[in-house]
Amino acid sequence: MEINKDFTNNRKCNNDTRLFRFLKQEIMTKQEQTEKFIHVGMVSSYLMLIEGKGYGEVIEIQNKHKVKNVFFLPPVDIDTGDLQKSDIESMIQHFIEREDYVKCGKLQTLINNNEVDEDGWIYLENRFTN
């Protein structure tokens, strides 16, 4: 099966390329599936926390991309501002591993610009009351 450059450029592709994509998705290892699951959860939480997307908007994006509806941080905790600094640091570590330094910077700025108590809770705005 020949893989042409259309596969990497995301342009209209031939039947061989479509078959290759399908097979590649079917033979994802458990590790790859786990990594994708975690990444979807991290990005979903990032969209709510940093980009200000609502729960419904993120679900629509997930459905559009045909991925599971999963979040790293509970959406209600994002809305109420009840988050642990360590959870945000875990998100930063994930995006460092993905070399997505823009997301890392925005998450670090969130930590730096908000008070953290002695138990590690970060004080964010409650979206339900404000």
Domain spans, the chain? 14-123
Answer whether 56's CB lies under 8 Å from 63's CB.
Answer: no
Whether pLDDT at 3 is above 80:
no
Ordered alpha helix ranges (H), the chain: 5-9, 15-26, 30-49, 55-64, 75-80, 85-97, 101-112
Using CA atoms in the order 23, 29, 31, 32, what is the torsion angle rounded to 10 degrees? -10
Q: Which two tokens stand for residue 117?
A: 């108590």
Whether pLDDT at 4 is above 50:
no
pLDDT, tens digit (0-9, with 9 covering 90-100), for 24-43: 656 778 888 899 999 999 99
Least confident piece of the model among 8-22, 26-40, 85-99:
8-22
What pLDDT, on a 0 to 100 scale, did the predictor assign at position 127? Answer: 76
Residues 6+ apart with CB under 8 A from 92: 104, 107, 108
State mean pLDDT over 92-119. Answer: 95
What DSSP character marks residue 14? -
Residue 85 CA to residue 108 CA, distance in Å, equals 10
Residue 107 CA to residue 102 CA, distance in Å, equals 9
Whether pLDDT at 6 is above 80:
no
Whether pLDDT at 11 is above 90:
no
State mean pLDDT over 40-52. Answer: 96
What pLDDT, on a 0 to 100 scale, did the predictor assign at position 19? Answer: 60
Return the amino acid letter for 117: D
CB atoms within 10 A of CB 46: 24
